[in-house]
């Protein structure tokens, strides 16, 4: 008996299975790699919407720091009295902090209003006792302070009219 005769004969079925098995594993790996890259591409670029895709690309390649061009010659947008109040004066006058006349409190405002609008404006601009000049915000211009004084005093019972342009001399 020769050695050959002890080896079992490979059946066609085994050949088919071995071939399939050999192809299946690398095929699966390739399939997964392809799916993965499609997934990544999809999460990065929206091919369906070119405008969106463009924006996404621009967002990714835009420089870290952006240069904001500020036109210094552009006219400053004056805040209304209400806006100034909400931005600055409210800090004290909404709660009556430091003994300030509380917004809308007519009894508290009456003795202040009695001084007259020009005096109140001067006090608001330059400071008065614990009331800081311009409410502590030097970036407010005269007109804005004047408007805020009228806004607050009127809410406290006065009938002042805020000027359209600054009346007090610029300090």
- Interface with ligand HEC (CB under 6 A): 84, 88-89, 91-93, 97-101, 112, 115, 119-120, 123-124, 128-132, 134-136, 140, 145, 148-149, 152
Considering the complex, what minimum distance in angstroms separates the CB of residue 122 from ligand HEC? 8
Q: Given the complex with ligand HEC, which of 143 and 149 has the nearer CB atom?
A: 149
C-alpha distances (whole Å) from 63 to each of 59, 69, 138 are 9, 15, 34
Considering the complex, what minimum distance in angstroms separates the CB of residue 138 from ligand HEC? 11
Q: Given the complex with ligand HEC, which of 104 and 136 has the nearer CB atom?
A: 136
Angle between helix 142-155 and 106-113 (nearest 10): 130
Query: What is the rounded CA–CA span in Å between residue 149 and residue 119?
Result: 10
Considering the complex, what minimum distance in angstroms separates the CB of residue 74 from ligand HEC? 23
Q: Given the complex with ligand HEC, which of 129 and 161 has the nearer CB atom?
A: 129
Do 68 and 57 form a contact (C-beta atoms < 8 A)?
no
Considering the complex, what minimum distance in angstroms separates the CB of residue 108 from ligand HEC? 9
In a 3-state reduction of DSSP, which class is residue 83? helix
Q: DSSP states of 44-65 as a string?
A: H--SS-HHHHHHHHHHHHS-SS
Q: Given the complex with ligand HEC, which of 19 and 82 has the nearer CB atom?
A: 82
Considering the complex, what minimum distance in angstroms separates the CB of residue 114 from ligand HEC? 9
Do 101 and 89 form a contact (C-beta atoms < 8 A)?
no
Helical residues (DSSP H) of 45-141, grouped into ranges: 50-61, 81-84, 90-93, 106-113, 117-126
Query: What is the rounded CA–CA span in Å between residue 166 and residue 171?
Result: 12
Q: Given the complex with ligand HEC, which of 46 and 141 has the nearer CB atom?
A: 141
């Amino acid at each position: 008996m020769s050695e050959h005769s002890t080896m079992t004969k490979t059946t066609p079925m085994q050949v088919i299975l071995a071939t399939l098995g050999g192809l299946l594993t690398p095929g699966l790996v390739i399939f997964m790699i392809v799916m993965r890259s499609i997934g990544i591409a999809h999460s990065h670029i929206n091919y369906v919407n070119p405008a969106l895709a463009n924006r996404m690309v621009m967002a990714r390649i835009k420089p870290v720091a952006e240069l904001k061009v500020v036109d210094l010659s552009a006219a400053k947008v004056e805040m209304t009295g209400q806006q100034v109040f909400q931005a600055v004066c409210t800090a004290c006058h909404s709660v009556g902090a430091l003994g300030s006349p509380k917004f809308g409190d007519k009894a508290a405002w009456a003795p202040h209003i009695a001084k007259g609008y020009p005096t109140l404006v001067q006090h608001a601009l330059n400071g008065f006792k614990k009331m800081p000049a311009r409410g502590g915000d030097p970036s407010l211009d005269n007109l804005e302070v004047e408007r805020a004084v009228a806004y607050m005093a009127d809410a406290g019972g006065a009938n002042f009219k805020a000027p359209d342009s600054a009346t007090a001399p610029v300090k």
